[in-house]
Amino acid sequence: MQRIVIVGAGMAGGRAAVELRKRGFEGDVVLVGAEAHRPYDRPPLSKAVLTGRIDDTTIPLTLDGVEVVTGRRATALRPGTLETDGGPLAYDGLVLATGSDPIPLPGDGPVRVLRTVDDALGLREVLRPGLRLVIVGAGWIGAEVATTAAAAGVEVTVVEAADTPLRAALGAEIGAHTIDWYTRAGVTLRLGVSVERTTADGLVLAGGELLPADEILVGIGARPDLGWLADSGLVLDRGIVVDEYLAATWSGVDGPPVVAVGDCAAWWSRRYERRLRVEHWDCA
């Protein structure tokens, strides 16, 4: 194996590049990222970056001898060739670390998400006293942004389809204990409310009620973008299907070794005897 290409320049992709060198791989390592940034840490985006304490969360990785290509998006995959919007890249080993993208809402209104450092900096710029911010989703992102925005004098309403915040992450009983967070922060929390669509005037709820908003932030989860891999020959099932060692499988074609890591990997867990896809910093 002479050339390993890593697709995705986030935490998982950056760590993969470091480990390849640490473990003695002497061939070419190419780290390709769709964003214009080198690998950076995402958890502080809704905390320290949004509050203005820091602007940069670049991870201090030792990438000596690694070719880092930023601002280049993968568009298709064939055995031995990665197609990108900047031209093809040949490989004889591949690491897929493309993460996941926020789940959108239907509608034609302008909305924000909080997934990248540019998202965080852009949201920070508009948080001002009197702004009407509606947040869809009372998960961790919703809680952190709501608290920060309210402290900046923003009028914040959080809409959640479940009957408690953080139900998916913590369960209903523990999630219910977080309701008081919103009250203490001065945030209006509306539970058990479904969303129909976004508009230029605000958020339309199921049943037709309009919540007026100057800004809408959507934080209802994320999923891997698998469209560019649809005709690749890799096995996909709500993620890139890999075994317990993170090795992917070619279906109907012979291809070089491929592994998938981080948010995009649907990996087999021996402990739980089922396939998991875990969107967490530790997993990446």
Gap between the Cα atoms of 113 and 177, Å rounded: 26
pLDDT (average), residues 253-259: 95
The DSSP result for 164-178, as a single string, is STTHHHH-HHHHHTT
Q: What is the pLDDT of residue 280?
A: 86
141-162 confidence digits (pLDDT tens): 999 999 999 999 999 999 999 9
- pLDDT tier, 188 (very low <50, low <70, confident <90, very high otherwise): very high
Q: What is the pLDDT of residue 282?
A: 86
Same domain, 229 and 168: no
Q: Domain of 156?
A: 103-218
Q: What is the pLDDT of residue 109?
A: 83
14 backbone dihedrals φ, ψ, rounded to 5°: -65, -45
Q: For residue 123, tell me if it sits in a domain.
A: yes
Same domain, 110 and 212: yes
Answer whether residue 281 shows pLDDT above 90.
no
Residue type at 281 in one-letter notation: W
Domain count for the chain: 2
Q: Where on the phi/psi map is residue 4: left (φ > 0), alpha (ψ -120 to 50), or beta?
A: beta
| The last residue of a domain, from among 218, 235, 251 | 218
Gap between the Cα atoms of 208 and 76, Å rounded: 41
Same domain, 11 and 71: yes
Note if the pTM is more than 0.85.
Answer: yes
Query: How is the beta sheet containing 265-269 ordered, strand by strand?
Result: 240-242, 265-269, 274-276
Q: For residue 282, tell me if it sits in a domain.
A: no
Gap between the Cα atoms of 180 and 163, Å rounded: 14
Q: For residue 283, tell me if it sits in a domain.
A: no
| The last residue of a domain, from among 195, 218, 241 | 218
pLDDT (average), residues 250-255: 92
Average pLDDT, the chain: 96
157 CB burial (10 A radius; 0-12, 13-18, 19+): buried
Minimal CA–CA distance to 160: which of 123, 132, 194? 194
Same domain, 10 and 57: yes
Q: For residue 48, tell me if it sits in a domain.
A: yes
Same domain, 268 and 205: no
* 282 token code pair: 């530790």
Answer whether residue 258 shows pLDDT above 90.
yes
- Where residue 185 sits, what CATH number does that domain have? 3.50.50.60
Sign of the Cα pseudo-torsion (182, 46, 127, 195, in order): negative
Sign of the Cα pseudo-torsion (57, 59, 64, 65, in order): negative
9-53 confidence digits (pLDDT tens): 999 999 999 999 999 999 999 999 999 999 999 999 999 999 999
Minimal CA–CA distance to 74: which of 115, 31, 104? 31
Q: Do the Cβ atoms of 239 and 266 come closer than 8 Å?
A: yes
Same domain, 209 and 122: yes
Partner residues linked to 250 by β-bridges: 234
Same domain, 245 and 165: no
